[in-house]
Structure 1
């Protein structure tokens, strides 16, 4: 008799796990009966692409879907959409769901449970936060709701939070012709960078016509007589808004897991081992879990699609009878605002200070190609190294075209625990159209090694 696998969540982690489990089990001559439930309308989509759909770079939500429900069903996964899991009993081995389309409740028994419930936008705990017209942007359904709202009489927008989603949504809304204000409690936008690099982000946003308000805490959302949002109130002023987008980060969507008594870490994310197992018969992956940070040597919540897909694959391999391990993360991410590219990996200088690490930090200015060639663009690299070992702790990059992906060199140096002296001497490719003879990453590493 086939083991029943029940997957809660039909996006990156859940469907990667389901698909890989079926493949692995089939190769081993085992049978699995896989059911996936999700309260939304979509499967296997790129949430990272939602701002580009809203901004007009992507024509339709379908373009962001990697695999449709029909394709998953053809591969042997029983996908149930508009079906919300509302309770888990791990001792009895069942999940209670609400089928919103049919209007009924039922219980699914399982032999193996996969929790891939993702993350939910963090809403400020202030009056009016649940008003109509205040949107988080986490799912395709969220993106569709924003686009529908923009079809009305909308002239001004406020984005609360200047992280990755906040920056991307601010640019998307400007491109749709709205007057946009970004409000953030930090001293500069993009608090995953140190403030001295955030100033460049601030300037780039203002060049786009975005009004950037920093060191401002939201205290309330004012509403119009009809109940829709009308303004964002902060401790430095009030800003009119026909629509508000939350870029205040996300939290692990683990209320269901918490109620079931499953183990959670300090961030609220599920705690797994490196096979993605939570407990006997229970597995988890994606934005709902905590992940081991190889640089901090601690557990963190880092909600990214890259991790979700890898963790899902590891989970599915193990669930299907194979053997795989998820080795952790180093905190690599990148984005852009207008023509300015931003990237980081590992620890910022602020992170190193907070962690109490003895360190040095250096910042260099260079160009993306040899400076004598047309098209050479400015690039800033900041690097943090441990004292006295010289171990690279982190790097940040802000620059124009062809800057951000250089962060991958730094990520690999972190992964392999290189010192900055070793990184400075690595054999990186060089030709004038692509780099100066010393790549900017190596210039920063060399300067850090000299400082040590």
Structure 2
């Protein structure tokens, strides 16, 4: 009997995690695995690209978890520079095109995995496709940017960069280019950078960025990428001003890459991401699976689906898909929306809902903000941090936490992430038995200080 065929579209986190896990469970004579990747690289950390561009990671290959040759040695037929262009659901086949040769073929499947990821937001502005405008979604993108940065470093004189967008990618790329010696301007349409925080916490990021020498233009949408006589980007324009640049980097976020799925008639949610069940099976299709940046996931706090593009989820989705195709059983219950980042010495973290998210789903809540330090105040190297906590009125259920501060601030958000997953109240959090020693925290950890204040606010609200 011929083996079943598992066909994977997308050779990064979800796709290759799914292929690898399925191969662990089923040998090649039971399951043939073919994976299609349109780029030059597979199984790499896209999250590490800003740190590679900035010089903290010296070599591109350090971001590659497993090479195509390593996958092939494990009986996974990974076909690089091969793009899926059409899905025929009725015929259970996919049209594949060799990107370099231009040839096409149809590949049948018994199990199909859609791991097409996300695409950078690239608004249809004049000049947006000019040379000198760069995204940082893939290793190919990062290499193209790094090539021009290293070339410009050979040219004497000041170098200028404009980052369009002040979200995670925007602030990480601002740090990368500061490290490269560029004068950096971040242009963002929001009132504060990091719209993944409440504005009062985003203001702390803005203040810190200014102190690092990063010019941050807020409340300003880019209307045009300006070009020189040769058609190369020379800056950007807003309604009120122009900002000169030698390079322009886009950091406007991403959208699910679901063009193939949409054309095939597969179900999409409000965000444009594929809708899946707990097993990561596309709804209504027994043999089609999807995960990573192209799907919606359930937010366990709000109870609503949302699109979150993070490598942590993508790898978990792949493991779950591979286990289910390989004959096992696994599910993905949902997320609480945890993310952490940094810009130079400032750490930025959040989990759960922001105020506007809680209000949008009809929750009533109280908020508190506290100031503390990463270590005992008397211990050398203690850094300040601000913690904001949101709790549901009356019940005191934790709804969200945001942290902005120096070294030691960011990963403290994991305490709140666990509490959110467990459905804890802020009162219950105050009894958590966390580790303490002066080099690591004050007697009361900053997150627990915020929980105590939030619990008091909930009690006061009841009176």
Distance, in Å, in 2 between the alignment partners of 1:354 and 1:186 is 19
Tell me if the contact between 2:6 and 2:109 (Cα under 8 Å) persists in the aligned partners.
Answer: yes
Aligned to 1:239: 243
Aligned counterparts of 1:105 and 1:149: Cα–Cα separation in 2: 33
Runs of 4+ off more than 6 Å: none
**Post-superposition offset of 1:281:** 1.6
How big is each residue's C-alpha offset from its partner over 1:270-312, in whole Å with a ceiling of 9 and x where there is no partner?
Answer: 1110101011221111101111110110100000000000000
Report the TM-score, using the length of structure 2 for normalisation: 0.95
Q: Which residue is equivalent to 2:24?
A: 23
TM-score of the two chains, using structure 1 as the length reference:
0.97
Partner of 1:194: 198
- Structure 1: 5+ residue stretches without partners: none
Within-5 A mapping of 1:46-445: 46-153=45-152, 155-278=159-282, 279-445=285-451
Q: CA deviation at 1:356?
A: 2.9
Q: What is the distance in 2 between the residues matched to 1:292 and 1:315?
A: 17
Distance 1:313 1:387 in 2: 38
Once the two structures are superposed, what CA deviation does each residue of 1:297-347 show, in whole Å capped at 9, x if it has no partner?
010000000000000000110011111000110000001111111100001
What secondary structure, in the 3-state scheme, does the structure 1 residue paired with 2:186 have? strand
Q: How far has the Cα of 1:224 moved from its partner?
A: 1.6
| More divergent stretch after superposition (232-241 vs 179-188) | 232-241
Report how many residues are paired.
Answer: 450
SS in 2 for 1:162: coil
Equivalent-residue separation in structure 2 for 1:158 and 1:217 (angstroms): 13
Q: Residues 236 and 357 of structure 1: is their aligned pair in 2 closer, same or farther, counting only changes over 3 Å?
A: farther
Which consecutive residues of structure 2, in runs of 5 or more, have no partner in the other structure?
A: 154-158, 459-463
Counterpart CA distance in 2 for 1:30 and 1:72 is: 17
Match of 2:461? Answer: none
Partner-residue secondary structure (3-state), 2:378:
coil
CA contact (8 A) 1:204 1:338 kept: no
Measured in 2, the distance between the counterparts of 1:106 and 1:228 equals 38
In the TM superposition, residue 398 of structure 1 has moved relative to its aligned partner by 0.8
Cα contact 2:302–2:358 (8 A) shared by 1: no
1:127 and 1:100 mapped to 2: Cα distance? 28
Provide the C-alpha distance between the structure 1 equivalents of 2:409 and 2:214, rounded to a whole number of angstroms.
23
CA RMSD between the two structures: 1.3
1:42 is matched with 41
